[in-house]
Amino acid sequence: MALIEIEKNLDHWVKSIMGITSFQDLEKTKAELIGKSGVITSAFRLLKDFSGDEKKSFGERLNNIKSQIETAISLQKKKLEEYEISEKLRNETLDITLPVENSSFGGLHILTQSIRRIRNHYLARGFLVLDGPEVETDFFNFDALNIPEHHPARQSHDTFYLERFNKTLLRTHTSCVQIRTMKERGIPVRMISIGKTYRNDQLDATHSPMFHQIEGLVADRKPITIGHLKSELKKFLAFFFEVEDVAIRFRPSFFPFTEPGMEVDCRYTKKDGKLIITPEGDKWLELGGAGMVHPNVFKNCGIENEAFGFAFGFGLERLVMLKNGITDIRNLFDTDRRWLEYYGQ
Ligand code: DAH
């Protein structure tokens, strides 16, 4: 292209550069004009046909045009960059005044809520709230609780044993924490422990291979009677079910670590299909086990001479299900969001 034509086109080029809206188009135009085989670059090659002043003025005019184009390109590039940044900022700002579409923020599972409630209740009453390991030895899970090897009670526990570790198992109940507590701290002691327990049970509406137990123990050198146990259980159950009073009865039962041992029932009635715990109830509901601490248990914990105590063990899931009208234990371990939202807090 002749110099005259180039000069005529300059305005048009600069204008069109200023109208470019993408980096890609800008690069393309740059190549077409001042790239290796661009119009301006090619024009420079004509310089060699000139000489003297003519060459000088041709060169100057061409350089001037080139620098005007370069300036226009770099200005436009800057403009595009600024635009890009402001677009990014605009798109990425979080408008905290927008209404929330999904108002679900998650919450505490009903079992967690119940564990915390029970913990707080007993902490407020001066009990120790203790934990024990879920992987136990058969000494703490059985022997020390007066369940020696070959005792039939071992069979009924459907224990999960750890294959490569001798005499090691997943605890079948929280009663092991009684042993750990008395071995470590001696008596007098007032404690509860809430935790996971495991049994090789098929999962169905009322069984789960993992469930929680609440274990309680009160032991002293001073006489403790079944009357104390009864009063404690009434207090706990009234608190748990949030009722004024609970009528309970003991049915004789057998636990090797208690003497005597009993099953605890409470009075209830059904109204509109709902279970209501009330002393006026006409039916009995089975809640858990309890008893007076067996002398062998004290002995196994290194406690000699006269000692007295009561203990109880309740299934947490059962209590939670009764209180909340839940009929299938599997719901407690499912991930149905509607269920979790309904019972969550
Ligand atoms: N450990 C028993 C069970 O899992 C429950 C139990 C019964 C605990 C009587 C106690 C007790 O502390 O005294 O079936």
Q: Report yes or no: 266 and 248 within 8 Å, Cβ to Cβ.
A: yes
132 lines ligand 1 (CB under 6 A): no
Residues 6+ apart with CB under 8 A from 331: 339
Among 151, 158, 173, 310, which is best to mutate for testing ligand 1, by the most ligand atoms less than 8 A from CB?
173
Q: Is the pLDDT of residue 247 over 80?
A: yes
Report the amino acid identity of residue 29: T
195 lines ligand 1 (CB under 6 A): no
Alpha-carbon gap, residue 270 to 274, rounded angstroms = 5
Given the CA of residue 217, which atom of ligand 1 is nearest to it? 12
The structure tokens 């203790």 sit at 130
**What is the tens place of the pLDDT at every residue in 169-218?**
999 999 999 999 999 999 999 999 999 999 999 999 999 999 999 999 99
Structure confidence at residue 104 as a pLDDT band (50, 70, 90): low
Q: Is the pLDDT of residue 102 over 80?
A: no
179 lines ligand 1 (CB under 6 A): no
> Measured in angstroms, how far is the CA atom of residue 163 from the centroid of ligand 1?
26
> Measured in angstroms, how far is the CA atom of residue 175 from the centroid of ligand 1?
6
pLDDT value, residue 154: 83
Structure confidence at residue 264 as a pLDDT band (50, 70, 90): very high
pLDDT value, residue 54: 87
Report in angstroms the alpha-carbon separations of 111 from 114, 213, 345.
5, 11, 11
312 lines ligand 1 (CB under 6 A): yes
Q: Average pLDDT for residues 49-68, to the nearest whole number? A: 90
Give the ranges where the chain is alpha helix by DSSP (H): 3-18, 23-34, 39-44, 52-92, 110-124, 138-141, 152-156, 176-185, 226-241, 295-300, 316-324, 337-343
pLDDT value, residue 90: 87
Angle 192-320-130 (CA atoms, 0-180°, nearest 5)?
A: 15
Q: Is the pLDDT of residue 47 over 90?
A: no
Global confidence as pTM: 0.71
> Measured in angstroms, how far is the CA atom of residue 254 from the centroid of ligand 1?
10
Alpha-carbon gap, residue 154 to 21, rounded angstroms = 81
- The end-to-end CA distance of the chain, in Å, is 79
Q: Average pLDDT for residues 26-31, to the nearest whole number? A: 93
**What is the tens place of the pLDDT at every residue in 273-313?**
889 999 999 999 999 999 999 999 999 999 999 999 999 99
Q: Give the range among 109-118, 156-165, 207-216 with minimum mean pLDDT.
A: 156-165
Alpha-carbon gap, residue 222 to 308, rounded angstroms = 7
Phi, psi of 121 (to 5 degrees): -60, -50
Residues 6+ apart with CB under 8 A from 236: 121, 216
Q: Average pLDDT for residues 260-271, to the nearest whole number? A: 96
Round the average pLDDT of the chain to a whole number and report it. Answer: 93
Q: Nearest CA to 141 among 256, 26, 228?
A: 256
208 lines ligand 1 (CB under 6 A): no
